[in-house]
Amino acid sequence: MKICFASHNQGKVQEIAALSPEGIEVVGLSDLSIHEDIEETGSTLEENSAIKARYVFDRYKMPVFADDSGLEVNALNGDPGVITARYAGPERDNQKNIELLLKNLEKFNDKTAQFRTVITLILDGKETQFEGIVVGEIQNELRGVNGFGYDPIFVPKGFDRTFAEMDPEEKNKLSHRAKAFQKLLSYLKELNG
């Protein structure tokens, strides 16, 4: 089955494609020559993932899933949350986002946070959502060169390395996106069962 991952982020598409079992081919928006920017107007991760999936399904009538992910920091009442990628402004600058987050966290001792992903799948017009969470802590200094976004400052619980210090295969096994995607894959396997 060919299924569209409604994302222009090739890093995310490759991360998910690497986890896909035989028989499921994951393609991104760019692979299908879809270049429109899908505006994320929702106020929650759930709403934004559904908006992106519906956009592709309504126009291209193909199996599709979309995700929205956010870093939710406890001391900041769940911020940056739904605006994780645009935390420091609409230009989606990872470095500026990290700098602003660390600045806003300076006065807090609590550095606990979680990455959360919500995936919306639309198959034959039916919508289903899946959630993945990885809990961890924010570090004050950037460490590592792998990954993207906030990976250089996020250490998952039970580890002493940031996501950016892990090789992609290791990160993929425990990331929030991988957890949500595994739920999606289990669902697809049951349907084909």
For residue 24, give the nearest of 9, 8, 5, 11 by alpha carbon: 5
Q: Check the CA dihedral 4-33-41-60 and report its sign.
A: negative
Is the separation of the CB atoms in 53 and 62 below 8 Å?
no
Cα separation of 71 and 77, whole Å? Answer: 11
Whether 142 contacts 98, CB under 8 Å = yes
Tokens standing for 57?
């399904």
Q: Which two tokens stand for residue 88?
A: 């420091």
Sheet with 112-123, edge to edge strand ranges: 25-28, 2-5, 64-73, 112-123, 126-138, 154-156
Q: Is 68 a catalytic residue?
A: yes
SS3 98: helix
Out of 31, 37, 67, 68, which one is annotated catalytic? 68
Which residues belong to the active site? 68
